[in-house]
Each structure stands twice: as C-alpha cells, then as structure tokens.
Amino acid sequence: MLQRAFRRIPWGYTFRRLLIAIPTMLAIITMAFLMMRAAPGGPFDGERKLPPETERAIAAKFGLDKPLHEQYLNYVGGVIQGDFGPSYKTLGKSVNDLIADGLPVSLTIGALTMFISLILGTALGVFAGLRQNSATDYGVMGIAMVGISVPSFVIGPILILVFAIGTGLFAVGGLGTYPNIGMNWYNMTLPIATLSLAQVAIISRLMRASIIETMHANHIRTARAKGLSEWQVITRHALPSAMLPLVSYAGPAMARVMTGSVVIEKLFGLPGLGSYFVNGALNRDYTLVMGAIIVYAGLIILLNLVADILYAMLDPKVKYD
C-alpha cells in the first residue's frame, strides 16, 4: 500500500512547484521590504529625539544611510546566505537568534493543536455525518457553532479562570520559572486547548459535509452492492474521498496556526514567533518583521505543496503531471 502511494507522488509537479517557489518568495520579500520602508517612522524613532550625529552613526552602522535599492540588494543577498540580519531593537541578538528562540514554541503549539484538531474534528465530523439530522448530529454541530463563534481571546481567559486560577491544574501563562521552565503539559495545555477549539469546530463541520456527500456517491453504492460491510465501505471507500477537502484546508491552516497564533501567545505570555512579529511591527524592527514574514511564507508554500501531494496520493483520479 505504501509503495503504491509512493508511486502516486507527482515528482515532476513537485519539482516545478519548488522552482516556482523561488520567484514567489522573491516577490514576497520585495513587497514586504518596500511596505516596511514606506511605513511612517523608523526603528530608532522615539519620544526622545536623538542628536543628529548619533542618528547618522546608527544609520551607518546598520546600512540605513545607503540608497534604498542598495539596502534591498544587500538584504536579499544576506537572505540567500541564510542571514536575516541584526535586530534593530534587541541588542546583541540577530533575527536568526530571535527566530530560533521563538519558532520552536510556535511550531510546538501549532503542531500539537493541528494534531489534536484533526483527530477530534475528523472523528466528530464523521460521527455526525453518518447520523445526519439526528440528535447526535445537532448536538455536535451546535457545539461546533459555539467553537466557531466565540473568539479565542474570550475562550482563553475563561479557561485561565477555571483551570489555572480556580483549580491550579495548569499555568496561567509563560513557560514557567526555574527549575521547571520549558514546554511541558503544565504550561502548554491551556494555550493548545484554546487554539484547538476553533479548529476542531471548523474541521468537524467540514468533515460532516464531506462525509454526507461522499456516502451518496456512486462508488459507495457500488461498494455496498459488492457485499462489503458498512465498516469496510466507510474506512476503505468513504473516508479517503471525504478527506480530500480536509487536506486542502489543513495545509494553509497548519501554517497559519504554527506561525500566526499571535493572540494566544500574547494572552498566555509565550515567547513565540507571533509575539516577536507583533513587537517588531510596533517597534519598526524591519529585519525582525521581514524574517517572520519569510518564515511564514515559506511554511505556507511548503505545506500547500504537501497538501497537493497528499491530494494526489488519496485520489487516483488527480493527475498533476
């Protein structure tokens, strides 16, 4: 089975997509660079005006005194070599250092959130779809509507009040204090739970609609006519087809959750990439914002490609080459 799925990978299409990703990333970098420079203010503007000599020295140190096109070429050259430049606001640290500090936190939250959401959302969606218009279906979809409607900045404080302040089962926020500092269940459960609720709701609704449509398809009737059990019909024929819309959704959703959980990171005081991005934007830390954008765009392109490949592996009718 694995060998058959491996043969379905569209290698030519994958190679072309990776080639197309190069000019796509260059366009993203160019647009972000110009938009950051066009924004009012600068990284060293503050309430207290610096002496002109100090401003000129700082600009010369970071190359901000050079023409815009020269700054752009120098920045792109550094990115090609894997260097995102120094942070203008965090002294003694480069953007690479800040991303290395924040990205593991964001990736851990996002990966665990999507893992839990895909399992629970798929199970609830299939369960509700197979019992269409029953009390179970209405109950699951009612809970899903609540998960979609209530924003995470409302769910988060409620979970903190109940499970952190009220019972003390989990941490209020942060990554703990020495010697118990780090990413563990005590610190990460509430952020992941808060972020998962909306994703579980969306995935369950998506899977419910997909499984209902699939169960009325011709190939399902054919499978039943061959005498297969209902369990075989669902697992071998219905689920692979019903998973296709979920695969299309999961790619960009995973990149968004992994790098864009800004509200959750701020709410729980987690030093993730999202909080660095917000702080960099507020402080006009050009290089930090650019580095976060590049990481986010790269994840979007990569995970969308993975989603397309999985689409071809699940559906033999899909031909990219």
* Secondary structure in 3-state letters for 111-169: HHHHHHHHHHHHHHHHHHHCCCCCHHHHHHHHHHHHHHHCCHHHHHHHHHHHHHHHCCC
Statement: residue 18 has pLDDT above 80 = yes
Q: Is 178 exposed, middle or buried (0-12, 13-18, 19+ CB in 10 A)?
A: exposed
The whole-angstrom separation of Cα 175 and Cα 191 is 11
Statement: residue 179 has pLDDT above 60 = no
Token pair belonging to 318: 């899909």
Of 318 and 244, the structure prediction assigns the larger pLDDT to 244
Percent of the chain with pLDDT strictly greater than 90: 6
Statement: residue 92 has pLDDT above 50 = yes
Statement: residue 178 has pLDDT above 50 = no
Compute the chain's Rg from CA coordinates: 24
Statement: residue 114 has pLDDT above 60 = yes
Mean pLDDT value of segment 298-319: 76
pLDDT of residue 119: 92
pLDDT band at 176, cuts 50/70/90? low
Statement: residue 225 has pLDDT above 70 = yes
* Contact (CB, 8 A) for 116 and 126: no
Residue 86's beta-bridge partner residues?
A: 94
| Average pLDDT value for the chain | 82
Q: Is 280 exposed, middle or buried (0-12, 13-18, 19+ CB in 10 A)?
A: buried
Token pair belonging to 10: 């569209």
Q: What is the maximal distance between C-alpha atoms in the chain?
A: 85
pLDDT of residue 120: 92
Token pair belonging to 15: 């190679």
Lowest mean pLDDT among 237-241, 300-304, 314-318: 314-318
Mean pLDDT value of segment 269-295: 83
pLDDT of residue 181: 57
Percent of the chain with pLDDT strictly greater than 70: 88
Mean pLDDT value of segment 72-78: 90
Statement: residue 35 has pLDDT above 50 = yes
Mean pLDDT value of segment 87-96: 83
Of 140 and 47, the structure prediction assigns the larger pLDDT to 140
* 117-170 residue pLDDT tens: 999 999 999 998 888 888 888 888 888 888 888 888 888 888 888 888 888 888
pLDDT of residue 8: 64
Task: Go through the domains of the chain in sequence order and give each one's CATH number.
Answer: 2-38+98-314 (1.10.3720.10)
